[in-house]
Structure 1
Amino acid sequence: MRLQANGITIEAEDTGDARRPAVLLVMGLGMQLVAWPAAFIQGLWDAGFRVVRFDNRDVGLSQSFDELGVPNLVVESIRHRFGLRVRAPYTLADMANDAFGVLDALKIERAHVVGMSMGGMIAQRMALAAPDRIQSLTSIMSSSGARFLPGPKPPVLRALLARPKDSSEDAVVDHTMALLRLIASPAYPHDEVVVRERVRAAVRRAYRPAGTQRQMAAVVADSKRARELATMRVPTLVIHGRDDPLVPFACGEDTARRIPHARLVALHGMGHDLPPGVVDLLLQAIVPHLRQTRGG
């Protein structure tokens, strides 16, 4: 469904049933709402929750911001390393307001918020901005954004910054698959044929690399969030894979340390993806967290 949220157009999907407590899923960098595994959504529904997911701005079927241009990520990364202000077309706070706009459009006053990777950062921004609207926070494979945390392993960073050899569908799918192999969970392998089919379907739905670059600039520019997390008063669960080559485990540890009373769940053999085995483990950790915080 197409919603008007925070003054822009956002594509969203909602399992419905306003009698159930709502869980808002916030996806990561450049990823679409279809990246949430069906088994994860079904698991939350079976546990008694209404599940809402959406395309972040600049990806999927939500509004694009091509008129803002494409940031030079190399230059902005250097500015970030030296503590200079990063120039981003928009901010994670703007993206958090988009998420609140989705809740407003669906007339949801309070929600549990589950964010993955960049989505975890957006969820943190939501909890800082309006804690009265956040029933609970779950931050998965994410980070506080502190400047001196470890970054991606070199092969992963090179793959992340590389471009497909051409603009054909096959080239884009091959390029995406190469990155996914590098960040995959070593103890929970995917069926590569199934993954390739999902990637191809996502590319056909929408392929907007410039939007991903603008989102990446927003992530790098959000340099003050780490210090602000000490003020957070939302029940928080932090889940992170010990074998994450994109956002290392130290980032999850740091996030949990900075948020008062946050609980950290470390998953051995988990990388930076959501294969079936990892989905099962996530549900085992998240569902009790949601139920324990249902009353506020």
Structure 2
Amino acid sequence: MKVQANGIPIEVEDTGEADRPAVLLVMGLGMQLIAWPEPFVQGLQAAGFRVLRFDNRDAGLSQHFPQLGVPNLLLASLKHRLGLRVRAPYTLQAMAADSLGVLAALGIRAAHVVGVSMGGMIAQRMALAAPESVLSLTSIMSSSGARRLPGPKPQVLKLLLGRPTGPGEDAQVEHTLRLLRAIGSPAFPADEDQVRQRVRAAVRRSSDPPGVLRQMVAVAADGTRARELAGLRVPTLVVHGKDDPLVPFACGHDTARRIRGARLVAIAGMGHDLPPGVVDLLLQAVVPHLRQTGGR
């Protein structure tokens, strides 16, 4: 269903139990709400929570912004490394306002917020902007955005910035699969056929490479979040894979260090994906965190 959030249409899926505490799931760069594994959603629902998923702006069935053009990613990356101001078509703060707008549109005063990768950054921004609306924060495989943190492995960065080898759906699917193989969890291999089916379904649902670039520049432009996290007082869980080749484990460690009282859960053999084995471990960490903070 569509809701008006922060002045734009946002696509939302809601399990709908109005009498339960709500959990808002915020997905990562270029990914859609369907990227949340169903066993994770079902596990949260079985634990007694109302689960909300949505497409970020410039992804899936939510509002896209082609009128804002295609940003120069290389220039933005260089400025970010040098500590210079990066001009973005929109900000992570705006994306956080979208997320908070989803809660407002559904009449939810406060929710637990769980973000993965870029979604973790958006979740951090939500907690900074409106702590009264965030019962708890869970930041998974994400980062504070501090400038001196390690970045992706070179081969992963090359794939992330690369393009499909040709036109058409098949080329796009294969390009995405190459990236997913490179960032996958070495101790939790995913079923290749199932991953291929999910990728093809995502491509058919929505595909917007320039939108992904706009999101990437929004991440690069957020240069103050790391310093601001010291003032965060929302109960926080940080989960990070020790074998993440895209957002290295040091980024999760840094995030937990910056947020007072945050708990860090490190998962050996986890990369930058959500295969079944990782989902099981996530539920074991996340569900108790949500239950312990539900009455804040």
Partner of 1:158: 158
Partner of 2:107: 107
**Per-residue CA distance 1:195-231 (angstroms, 9 max, x = gap):** 0011000100001111000000000000000000000
What aligned pairs does 1:1-296 form with structure 2 within 5 A after superposition?
Answer: 1-296=1-296
Question: How many angstroms apart in 1 are the aligned matches of 2:184 and 2:76?
Answer: 27
**Per-residue CA distance 1:15-62 (angstroms, 9 max, x = gap):** 001100000000000000000000000000000000001000001000
Q: Which ranges of 4 or more aligned residues in structure 1 deviate by more than 4 Å?
A: none
Question: How many angstroms apart in 1 are the aligned matches of 2:196 and 2:83?
Answer: 39
| Shift in Å, 1:81 | 1.2
Unpaired segments of 5 or more residues in structure 2? none
The TM-score, its normalising length taken from structure 1, stands at 1.00
| Shift in Å, 1:157 | 0.1
Question: How many angstroms apart in 1 are the aligned matches of 2:80 and 2:292?
Answer: 38
Question: How many angstroms apart in 1 are the aligned matches of 2:119 and 2:179?
Answer: 19
Read off the aligned partner of 1:24 and give its amino acid letter: L
Read off the aligned partner of 1:188 and give its amino acid letter: F
Unpaired segments of 5 or more residues in structure 1? none
Question: How many angstroms apart in 2 are the aligned matches of 1:215 and 1:243?
Answer: 24
| Shift in Å, 1:80 | 1.1
Secondary structure at 1:277's aligned position in 2? helix
RMSD: 0.4
Question: How many angstroms apart in 1 are the aligned matches of 2:138 and 2:57?
Answer: 21
**Per-residue CA distance 1:167-203 (angstroms, 9 max, x = gap):** 3000000000000000000000000001001100010
Secondary structure at 2:113's aligned position in 1? strand
The TM-score, its normalising length taken from structure 2, stands at 1.00
Secondary structure at 1:41's aligned position in 2? helix
Aligned residues: 296
Read off the aligned partner of 2:55 and give its amino acid letter: D
Secondary structure at 1:251's aligned position in 2? helix
Percent identity for Structure 1 against Structure 2 = 73
Secondary structure at 1:78's aligned position in 2? helix
Read off the aligned partner of 1:278 and give its amino acid letter: V
